[in-house]
Amino acid sequence: MGSEPMLCGGIDIGGTKIEARLFRGAAAETVEVRRIATPKLAFVALLEAIVEQVRWLESLDPAPFPIGLSLAGVIDPETGIGYAANIPVTGYALGRELGQATGRDLPIVNDCMAFAFSEANGGAGDGARSVMGLILGTGVGGGICIDGQLPHRHGGLAVEIGHLGLPAQALARHDLPLFKCGCGREGCMETCVSGTGIANLAEWRLGNRMRAEDLVAAGTDEAAAVLDLWQDLAGDCLYAIQIMLDPDRIVLGGGLSKLPDVIGRLTRSLEAKRMGSVRLPEITLARHGDSSGARGAALTARTEWPT
């Protein structure tokens, strides 16, 4: 570990902002942050914005250091062609274009995989061999890290649990309709388990698109019933993760991870669905929060950096 460079940089490319962070030391603590808005329309403008962030990071130290990128989207591992819902990279070879523009290799990792990698390396996943990072935010996304490393992905997908359909048992149990999902399908986990999902459930039950924090603040029986419904459906999502991936630990991130007693709620919900006496994964809160995408990308680049 002593030969690892002291500095590493990460650039997290999201739908609203491109955030560059400089990290220092073996534990990769943030020392500098710079955010700019994500250009929404043109790939050329996006490329320029990312290059600007690379140059800013490079300006912070005269000696070269590793820099990695995380992207809220998919990069095909064979062709390098990108696909994203909210970032104009679809159809473009982002890595190749950035290599030409900057004269350096910049590894790119999916943001949910970066989150899992960050938490598994000096985060809430420390000490666990398999770590599932589950982000409950506007949408639902996940990543998996095994023995401290990201497994190879055939098509560049993360753990796209948000776009798995809710199980028929769950729909029947609550007489739920199929809500439309941003991916174009209906009835995906994300349509009930994410922050948007809670608003869907509130509108369906109460006729009002309330946010999770509004439901908590309302404190009424009706509001509590919507949160309990969310809790039950989130347990179905955790159960799907458990039976397919069987991780040692599930690390939670995203806005809904700030709900009161969220670990207790989700643990109880998963326990109620347990298959036989099978060992349950530990559920815990992320340590690195909003820096996870950039930190995971920076650590990925540090791992690949020639020493």
Binding site for Zn ion (CB under 5 A): 163, 181, 183, 185, 188
- Let me know: does 131 contact 119? Beta carbons within 8 Å: yes
Cβ 182 to Zn ion, closest distance in Å? Answer: 6
CA distance 8 to 51: 16
> For residue 207, how many other CB atoms are within 10 A of its CB?
8
Nearer to Zn ion, 118 or 138 (CB): 138
Return phi, psi of residue 98, to 5°.
-70, -35
Nearer to Zn ion, 68 or 139 (CB): 139
- Let me know: does 54 contact 68? Beta carbons within 8 Å: no
- Let me know: does 142 contact 155? Beta carbons within 8 Å: no
Q: Which of 43, 49, 40, 54 is nearest to 8 (CA)?
A: 54
Cβ 161 to Zn ion, closest distance in Å? Answer: 10
Cβ 164 to Zn ion, closest distance in Å? Answer: 8
CA distance 143 to 284: 15
Nearer to Zn ion, 188 or 241 (CB): 188
Cβ 5 to Zn ion, closest distance in Å? Answer: 39
Cβ 159 to Zn ion, closest distance in Å? Answer: 14
Collect all residues with Cβ–Cβ distance below 8 Å to 206 and sequence separation of at least 6: 222, 223, 226
Nearer to Zn ion, 79 or 90 (CB): 90
Nearer to Zn ion, 181 or 227 (CB): 181
